[in-house]
Every structure is written in C-alpha cells, then in structure tokens.
Amino acid sequence: MRMTDHALNAASEYHFESSDEYCAPELVDQAAGAVRTSHNLNPADRAQLQAIVDLEKLRFAFAYNDISLKEHGQQIQALRKQLIERHGREPFDNGKIEKAFYQALNQAYGYAD
Amino acid sequence: MGILGVLLTVYTNGKSKGLTEFFEKIHGHYKADSGCSPLDYRAGKNHRYIFGHDGNLWQHLPEGYTYNGSSVGGRSLYSLVMEQMRQGFPNSSFIGGHVKAILHIATHYLSDLPTKDGLPLPFSSLFTQWVKDETKVSGYSANNPLMDKVGKEFGTINAADIASYAIIKTLLAGHHWITFYSTNASEDEKKLHHAQMSVIAYGTAMIIQMALLCSGQAGRTGKLNYLIAGPFLWNAGKSVLMTQRHHRDLVLSYRDSCAILDNKSLAFDHWVKHQCV
C-alpha cells in the first residue's frame, strides 16, 4: 500500500496514526520550527519532536521510494524504540508536543476547525 | 429558558480552554508519574472515538499492542488504570487504589469534556475495529464506523451540553416554584404544567442548536445535545400520557353525569349535588 499526498485532502485533519497520507517535508519542518519557537522544550520534548519529524519524513520516503512495507515498519519501530529507551516516551502520547506539532502542521495545510 | 440554555452553551464553549486547564490541574492529583494515562494509549485524530473515553471500562486494546515498551493489549482499560495507580501510589490501600483509579478516570473525562471533541456516546467503543497496520507507530489502524457516521455533531457530549441542561433545569424548577407558590393546584396539574414547560424550554434549545447546525453557524454550538433531547422527548411523552389520562377521566365523569341525568328515578337536585361534590 502506498500513501497519498495530504495536500489532496487538506480539508481533513491529519495525524500520522490515523491517516494513510504523507506530508511534504518542508511543511513538516515548518511545523516543527513553530513548535520549537512557541514552546519551552526540555531534552525529552526535543527528542519527541525530532522523532515525530523523522517519522513523517520516513513516511514521505516510503511514499516515493521503493521500500517494502516490512522494512518501513521496522524503521518506524526502530525510531519508536530509540525514543522509549532514551526518554521513556512514546512519539504519540496525546501530550503537548504531539498536539502542538499536528496543530501547526494542519494549519500549514490550511486546515481550520 | 431555552434561549438562555443556548447562550450558556456559547459561553461555555468560549471558556473551554480555561475549563480544560482547571480540570487538568485536578486530574494531575490522580495521575501517576509514569507517563500518559492508559485512556490515551491510542493517539490520532478522533482517538477518543476509538478507545478509553466512552465509559466502557472493560474495553481492551488488541492483543500484541504495546505502549512504552510494555504489552498492554488484551487487558481491560480498568486493569491498566489500576496497574498505573499501583505504580504511582504504592502506599495506597486496596480500596484507596480503586478510589484513585475511579477518580483518575472521572477527572480525565472532566478535562476532556470542555474540548471541541468532548466525549463520545457511552459504550460507542463497542463498534471500534482494529486492523494491523505496519505504517502506524502503534502497529494498528483503528476506526469506529458508528462514530464516523454520526460525527461529533451527533455523537458527542461536552461541557457546554451539561451547562445548558443544568441552567434550563434550574430555571424550570425556579419558574415552577414561583408559579405554584401559595396556590392550591392539584399535584397532577402541577406535574402536567412542569412537563409542558419542559417541552417548550428543552424544545426551544434543541431547535436553535439544530438550526445552527443546519446553517453551519456558531461553530460548536450547532449540534444535537442529547442531554437536552432526552428530557425533551421524556417530557413530551409524559405530557401526552398525562393529557390523555386527564381526558379519559373527564370523559368518564361526563358519562357518570349523563347517566344521572338520564336516570328518570333521580331528581335534578341529585345531579346538581353530584356535580358539586
């Protein structure tokens, strides 16, 4: 299964865990930048934000490159495991970093709710 | 009263951020330090429709589901919360642990209530479907066809809904007390009047909110408020049944009256006495 560009479905709210779409890396970086400037981040927050950015970029690469689903899944789990081992945190924990990032990303796509 | 209920809905929605922060502070007292609440083990858009927010404490994540490196699949939501409470409050007694778990869940729901998504309909998670999906961090995709169909406009309850119901109910009670203060109306009449007033008040609020929903105006205020719709239907049914009963009693009394008039052996005075007594 390959992903579709979220820009084609920008009227709908996007989240990595609930969408089968990918986002443009520039907008992912823009959203992460907005979170970095608007929040006072501790090392765990920074690592979580970076993990989310990396996951989004992995998905973009999966959409465009010849990576198998199994390999893609392994890459995702490796990133997740690294964050859990180093900071005891999941990339998606319904916390402030995740919420702020996806709010900024959805806004970058023009989504308003 | 109905209009005031809707205005309070608008006001409460406007104060949602402050209310959320207030309830989150209370929730903090019943949270273990070991990461996020088990109620939030599912992330993503509409994650509350999927898991943990509909009052179904027996719901469980699929087998093999992991969170923070631990296996959390196949266990009830309540057992996951209890485990976190035991870790976070190791000195709690058996009963104290359960009380903390219940307060953890209740305050978590309270902090989610003022948000735009509110809480899904009770036990709607029975419709949740999980599918293995390696493209997701959790390893699973999930959806809830029932909640996807009804959406947040028809399938959620939030703090504004509760506030609207509370103000209308209070105003109705006050109005009822003033109306019947120092009168000697029968209990039946009082009950019928209260039911009819409730139909008007709840009905007004419901119609305004549905009209706002249809017109796409007023954002989150335009929705079906089940806490208003329920009492509206209940009181409408009650009014119809009470009116029917009154009508039946009246017809029976007419029959009795006519029977006395038709009875040639009884004098007209007897009928007058019957009617007056």
pLDDT tens track for A47-96: 999 999 999 999 999 999 888 999 999 999 999 999 999 999 999 999 99
Q: Tell me: do B20 and B138 sit in the same domain.
A: yes
Q: Is residue B5 part of a domain?
A: no
For B190, list phi and psi in degrees, rounded to 5.
-60, -45
Buried b (16+ CB within 10 A) or exposed e, B99-120: ebbbbbbebbbbbbbbbebbbb
Q: Tell me: do B247 and B144 sit in the same domain.
A: no
pLDDT surpasses 80 at B218: no
- Residue A49 is which amino acid? L
Q: Which residues of B touch A92 (CB under 8 A)?
A: 43-44, 137-138
Residue where one domain finishes, among candidates B134, B155, B176: B155
CA A58/CA A22 separation, integer angstroms: 9
Q: Which residues of A touch B139 (CB under 8 A)?
A: 73, 77
Q: Tell me: do B174 and B135 sit in the same domain.
A: no
Q: Is residue B9 part of a domain?
A: no
The alpha carbon of residue A53 is apart from the nearest alpha carbon of chain B, in Å, by: 13
pLDDT surpasses 90 at B88: no
Across B137-163, average pLDDT: 92
Contact B135 A94 (CB under 8 A): no
Across B30-43, average pLDDT: 86
Contact A13 B136 (CB under 8 A): no
pLDDT surpasses 70 at B34: no
CA B122/CA B46 separation, integer angstroms: 15
Per DSSP, the residues of chain A read ---EEGGGGTTS---TTT-SEE--HHHHHHHHHHHHHHS---HHHHHHHHHHHHHHHHHHHHHHS---HHHHHHHHHHHHHHHHHHHS--S-SSSHHHHHHHHHHHHHTT---
A/B interface, count of CB pairs below 8 Å: 76
Across B183-207, average pLDDT: 93
Q: What is the mean pLDDT of chain B?
A: 91
Residue where one domain finishes, among candidates B121, B155, B189: B155
Q: What is the mean pLDDT of chain A?
A: 93
Q: Tell me: do B23 and B150 sit in the same domain.
A: yes
Across B53-81, average pLDDT: 93
Nearest to B43 among A1, A77, A92 (CB): A92
| Per-residue confidence (pLDDT) for residue B271, from 0 to 100 | 86
Please state whether beta strands B156-157 and B119-120 pair in parallel, antiparallel, or not at all (unpaired): antiparallel
Assess B240–A contact: CB distance below 8 Å, yes or no: no
Predicted confidence band of residue A99 (pLDDT cuts 50, 70, 90): very high
| Per-residue confidence (pLDDT) for residue B205, from 0 to 100 | 95
All structural domains of chain A with their residue ranges? 4-108
Rounded to two decimals, the ipTM of the complex is 0.92
Which DSSP state fits B76? Answer: B
Tell me the percentage of chain B whose pLDDT exceeds 90. 66
Q: Which residues of A touch B35 (CB under 8 A)?
A: 88-90, 93
Assess A98–B contact: CB distance below 8 Å, yes or no: yes
> Helix B226-262 and helix B159-179: axis angle, to 10°?
30
Q: Is residue B68 part of a domain?
A: yes
Residue where one domain finishes, among candidates B133, B155, B177: B155
Q: Tell me: do B61 and B101 sit in the same domain.
A: yes
Count CA atoms closer than 13 A to A55's CA, side-chain side: 31
How many folded domains does chain B comprise?
2
| Per-residue confidence (pLDDT) for residue A1, from 0 to 100 | 56
Across B218-239, average pLDDT: 90
pLDDT surpasses 80 at B84: yes
Please state whether beta strands B66-67 and B119-120 pair in parallel, antiparallel, or not at all (unpaired): unpaired
Across B167-190, average pLDDT: 92
Q: Tell me: do B120 and B165 sit in the same domain.
A: no
**Least confidently predicted of B25-39, B42-56, B146-160, B198-212:** B25-39
| Per-residue confidence (pLDDT) for residue B260, from 0 to 100 | 87
Across B20-32, average pLDDT: 89
Nearest to B137 among A19, A20, A76 (CB): A76
Across B96-110, average pLDDT: 94
Domain containing residue B56: 15-155
Contact A90 B68 (CB under 8 A): yes
Nearest to A16 among B42, B137, B139 (CB): B137
Q: Is residue B1 part of a domain?
A: no
Q: Which residues of A touch B141 (CB under 8 A)?
A: 18, 20
Which chain A residue has its CA at the smallest distance from B139's CA? A73
Assess A71–B contact: CB distance below 8 Å, yes or no: no
B155-171 pLDDT, tens digit per residue, is 999 999 999 999 999 99
